[in-house]
Structure 1
C-alpha cells in the first residue's frame, strides 16, 4: 500500500470528496471553513495549536509541528518549518495549512520573531493557486478557487473551501496585519500587502490603507507591490473604480517608473479591452531591466518567474503578445 492508502486522513478525504458528494460535508468536521471558524480567539492569541484538529486533514500533523518549530527560536528549525508549509502549498495540499493562517499572522506580528516577511507572505499564499503559468491578463490577479466551479486539490479536497477559509482568516485578522504596512522592513510591507489583498472582507478599509501607504511609501518595490495589491483586492470585490485609478497611474508622467509599470499590469488585468498605443509607449520606456529588478521580489512576480528569472518581462510578453509562446526554456520554471 502507498502512504496515502495507509493514512486515515487521506482515506477520510477520499471517501468524503472523491467517493461521495462534497456538499454533504459542508459545515461538518471535514469542512476546513468550519474548523477555522471554530478556533477560539484565546487559542489563536495564546498560540494553542493543540486545540486545532489537525489530524482530520492530510499532512495536518506536519503542519502542527511546523508551527511549533516556528516558535522555537531555532533558526534551522524555523527555516525547515517554513519550507514544509511552503512545499505543501506548492504541491496544492493546502487544506491542512489553512488553520495555520491565524497563527502565521501572529508570528508575523511579533516584532521579535524571525522570518516575518516569509511568514506573512505564506499566509497570503495559502489563499492562492501556486501555478507558474498564471501571467496572462485573465489570470495573474485572479483567485483561482473562486466562484461556483468545483476545484480539487491533489488529495481530492475542495480547493474552493481551502481558499475561502484562508481569505476569511486574513479578513478576520486584518487588524493585526494592517499595522505591518508601516513596518520598517520593506520586505514585510510587501508581504503584508500581498496577504491583505487576499482578504474576503473589510476590503474598503484595506484599500484605503493601501492608498494611504502609497502616498508616503519611499521604497520603489513596495510602491509597485501596493499598486498590484490595490488591483487584486479590487478585482476580487468587483470594484470598478480601480480600472480608472490604474489608468490614471500609468498615464501620469509624474509617477515613478515602477508605479507606472505595475499600474499598467494592473490595468491590463482589470480590463479586456485592447491595449492602447499610449500604454505600449509607457512600457517600452519604463519596463526596463532596472524596473524588472525592482519588481522581482514581489510575490506576484516571483510566482510567474521562469528559467530566465525575469517575471516582469515574462508577464509583459504573455499579456501583450498572447499568441506567442514563451521562448524555449522559459515555460518550465524549474528548467
Structure 2
C-alpha cells in the first residue's frame, strides 16, 4: 500500500479476498477513514458482532453501521467490513443476522437520501456515486466472493434474514447474477411469506436491470402483475419492478393494482429494505412520488428522457383515486401526496387543493386533521377552497381543526380568520401539534397578511407573547414576533410585550435558526418611534449590561447606569467592536435604536459599517446600512469593498446598499444583473434573490437586461423551494412570484397591479 496517502480500497479488497481465511487484523484500518474519523476502531466492532451476549452484539452492529454507512452514504471501511459481515451472518447462532446482511448490502448501495425515483430504486451505487466513490465497487467484489455463504441464507428459518439475504444478493455484479437469479427464482416458487416474496421479486428485477435486461424485466413483471394467478404481494412487487424498468406511463391495470394494494402493502413494505426508510408519510405518498418519478427536494437534475408530464399526470390521477380509498390511513397519506405536489409544482396547485378541501369533511378525524394541516402549509388558497375551509369554522368544534382552518385563511389575509385566531392565541394550550423537524414546525406566518386586522388581533397577540413558552407555544411566539415585523407601525400596541422578550433569555435560547433578540429587535425597529418603551432594553443588550427584572422594565424604572449609558451607547458599542466582545445581534440592536429614536445617526452608521467591513461576516449589517439610506453614504468605500465578496449574497446586499445609500446604479447594476443571470433560482428562491429583485425594481428601466431571467423564473412550473424555517415552500414561492412580477412591471415602466404589490409586501 502507498504511504502518505489513502490506499485504494479496491486494491486492499483484492488482497483481502486473496487470503484463505482473512481476519480483521489483515486490514490496515488506520489507513482509512469512516464518517467519524480513523477506522482503527472497526476491528473491535467486528469482533463485537460475534459476542455471545445479544445486547453487546447489537450495540456493536449499531455503532459500526452508523460509523461506516451514514445518512445514505458508504465508505471504504464499510466495503472492507463486508467479508466479515457475510461470514458472521452465515455462522450458526449469530445474533442479528438480518442486520448484518442489511449492512453488507448498504455498503454497496446508496439510498440517494430517500429519492424513491423509478430510475433509482433498483439501482446500486457506482464508481461515480457521490456518496461512495470507489467503495461500492470494492463492496460488490466482496459480495460476489460471499455468494456461496449467502445463497443458503435464502432458506434461513427467519423471514427477516431471508429478505435481507435477497437484498444483499441483489447487489451482486453481473458476472455472478445468473447463478444468483436462478436461486432467487427458485426460492420465490416455494416462499410463503409475503414480505420475502416481495424482496425476491425486487432482487430478481434489480439483477436483470443491472445486467441491462430492462426489456426482460418489463415482460416478466407484466406477466406477474397482469392476472389474478399470483398473490397480491407478488403482483404488487411486480408492478413496482415494471415501473423501475421503463419510463413509460403506467397502464391502467397497474394503477388499479397499486390502488387496491395500497392498504395491505404498507405493512409489508415497511419490512422491505428497498423501501422501508421512505415510508414516513405512508404508502400513498411514496407511490405517488414513485409514479411521478420525482422528489420534493431534488439533489440532482431530473433523469434525462423521463416523460415528466406523463408521470405527473399519472401521479395526479392516482392521488385523486387514493383520496377515495376505504382505508383512512391511505387517505391520510394521499393528503400528504397532494400537498407535496402543491409544494413542487405551480400548475398542480388548484387540483390538489380541491382534493384536500374535499377531505376536510371525511368521516375520519385523522383524515380531516391531515387535510387541514396540509392546507395550512399551502400558502394562499383560492376563493373556492377558502370557502370550503371556512365551513370547518361553522360546523366543527375541534380546536385543532379550527386552528388549521384559521391558519389557512390567515395566509390569505381573510377576515374570517380573525375570530378563530383570537381563540387560538388566547387558549391555555396550543391546539396545533408541534412538528418534530423545522420544515414541519407549526404554525407559520399567522400574522404576515393579517395587517388590515391588526387592531382586532393585537390584544390576543400581546397575551400570547407575555404568557410564556409552556404548553406548546414556543414556535407560535417566535412566529408572532416575525409576523409583527410585517405590521410595522401597526404593531405599536405590542411594543412593550416585545421589549419584555428582549430580557427573556429562554426565548432567545429556543429561537432556533435565528437569534431571538435579533428577531425582536427587528420587529421593534420596524415599528419605529412608537416603540420607544423598548429603548432601555435595547441599550442594555447592545452594551452587554445585565437586564433587570421585567417588572422594573414594565414600570419604566431605568437604573442610573443606564441613564449614563443611553447617551453614548453607540460609542460604547464601537469600543466593544474594537475589542471583539460585541454580541452577534449588535448591528440589529443599534439599527433598531436608531429607527426608534432617530438619534446618533452618524455613530450608528459607523458601527454598522465596521460590522459590514469584516470579511465573510454576516450580511445583516449591509442590509441595515441599506435601510439607513443616504445617512450611510459616508461609508461607500466599505460597501464597495463587499461588491467582490466571494459570498454571492454579500455581493447582493452590498449592491443594494450602494444603490440605496448613494443612488449609484452604475456600480450596483453589474453585480445585480450577474446575480440574476448567474445564480440558479432553484432549488430555492432565497432572501438574497428578494434583495436583488427589489433593488432592480427600484432602479427601474435601467435594469432591463435583468428582465429575461426574471420572466424565465415566472414561467417555470417547478417551485424553487423555501429559503428558511419560517416559510413553507408554497407561501414563499407565492411571495417570490409576486415580488418578481412587481419588479418586471416597474422595470418596464408601468405600475405593478395592486394585488401583486400587496402579496409582495405580505411576504
TM-score (norm 1): 0.81
1:112 aligns with 2:93: yes
**Map of 1:161 onto structure 2:** 134
Matches within 5 A, 1:263-274: 263-274=238-249
In the TM superposition, what is the alpha-carbon distance from 1:331 to its structure 2 partner? Answer: 10
**Map of 1:173 onto structure 2:** 146
How many Å separate the matches in 1 of 2:439 and 2:168? 23
How many Å separate the matches in 2 of 1:304 and 1:117? 19
Matches within 5 A, 1:210-289: 210-239=184-213, 240-288=215-263
How many Å separate the matches in 2 of 1:232 and 1:76? 34
- Describe the SS at the equivalent of 1:160: coil
In the TM superposition, what is the alpha-carbon distance from 1:81 to its structure 2 partner? Answer: 1.5
Taking structure 1 as reference, are residues 279 and 117 closer, same or farther at Cα in structure 2, changes over 3 Å only? same
Taking structure 1 as reference, are residues 139 and 76 closer, same or farther at Cα in structure 2, changes over 3 Å only? same
Matches within 5 A, 1:97-108: 97-108=78-89
**Map of 1:294 onto structure 2:** 268
**Among residues 64, 67, 73, which one is paired with 2:43 in the alignment?**
64
**Among residues 80, 93, 108, which one is paired with 2:59 in the alignment?**
80
How many Å separate the matches in 2 of 1:122 and 1:104? 8
How many Å separate the matches in 1 of 2:49 and 2:233? 34
- Describe the SS at the equivalent of 1:272: coil
In the TM superposition, what is the alpha-carbon distance from 1:314 to its structure 2 partner? Answer: 3.5
* Structure in which a larger fraction of residues adopt helix: 2
Show CA shifts across 1:232-278 (max 9, x none).
Answer: 11111112312210111111211111111111111100111111111
Taking structure 1 as reference, are residues 174 and 93 closer, same or farther at Cα in structure 2, changes over 3 Å only? closer
**Map of 1:27 onto structure 2:** none
Contact 2:50 2:95 in 1 (8 A): no
Contact 1:43 1:51 in 2 (8 A): no
How many Å separate the matches in 1 of 2:178 and 2:43? 33
Contact 1:224 1:259 in 2 (8 A): yes
Show CA shifts across 1:203-237 (max 9, x none).
Answer: 01100111110000000110011111111111111
Stretches of structure 1 that go unaligned for 5 or more consecutive residues are 1-10, 14-29, 154-158
How many Å separate the matches in 1 of 2:112 and 2:69? 10
1:90 aligns with 2:65: no
Show CA shifts across 1:295-332 (max 9, x none).
Answer: 211111113232x3x3x433311122445258778999
Show CA shifts across 1:124-175 (max 9, x none).
Answer: 11101134432111111122335xxx3444xxxxx23100111111111101
Taking structure 1 as reference, are residues 184 and 332 closer, same or farther at Cα in structure 2, changes over 3 Å only? farther
1:320 aligns with 2:291: yes
Taking structure 1 as reference, are residues 112 and 330 closer, same or farther at Cα in structure 2, changes over 3 Å only? same
In the TM superposition, what is the alpha-carbon distance from 1:93 to its structure 2 partner? Answer: 4.7
Larger mean Cα displacement after TM superposition, 70-79 or 111-120? 70-79
How many Å separate the matches in 2 of 1:234 and 1:303? 24
Contact 2:108 2:125 in 1 (8 A): no
In the TM superposition, what is the alpha-carbon distance from 1:52 to its structure 2 partner? Answer: 1.1
Q: Which 4+ runs in 1 deviate beyond 6 A? A: 326-335
Contact 1:132 1:333 in 2 (8 A): no
Contact 1:95 1:162 in 2 (8 A): yes
Stretches of structure 2 that go unaligned for 5 or more consecutive residues are 295-311, 313-340, 345-373, 378-434, 442-763
How many Å separate the matches in 1 of 2:168 and 2:46? 18
How many Å separate the matches in 1 of 2:188 and 2:217? 14
Larger mean Cα displacement after TM superposition, 113-122 or 133-142? 133-142
Tell me the number of residue pairs that the alignment of Structure 1 and Structure 2 aligns: 295
Contact 1:133 1:304 in 2 (8 A): yes
Contact 1:305 1:333 in 2 (8 A): no
How many Å separate the matches in 2 of 1:119 and 1:333? 33
Bigger radius of gyration = 2
- Describe the SS at the equivalent of 2:135: helix
**Map of 1:31 onto structure 2:** 8
In the TM superposition, what is the alpha-carbon distance from 1:80 to its structure 2 partner? Answer: 1.8
**Among residues 158, 162, 165, which one is paired with 1:185 in the alignment?**
158
Taking structure 1 as reference, are residues 331 and 259 closer, same or farther at Cα in structure 2, changes over 3 Å only? farther
How many Å separate the matches in 2 of 1:333 and 1:184? 42
Contact 1:123 1:195 in 2 (8 A): yes
How many Å separate the matches in 2 of 1:83 and 1:334? 28
Contact 1:72 1:78 in 2 (8 A): yes
Taking structure 1 as reference, are residues 268 and 276 closer, same or farther at Cα in structure 2, changes over 3 Å only? same
Contact 2:269 2:275 in 1 (8 A): yes
Contact 1:136 1:315 in 2 (8 A): no
Taking structure 1 as reference, are residues 151 and 295 closer, same or farther at Cα in structure 2, changes over 3 Å only? closer
TM-score (norm 2): 0.37
1:202 aligns with 2:162: no
1:121 aligns with 2:102: yes
**Map of 2:567 onto structure 1:** none
Contact 1:89 1:130 in 2 (8 A): no
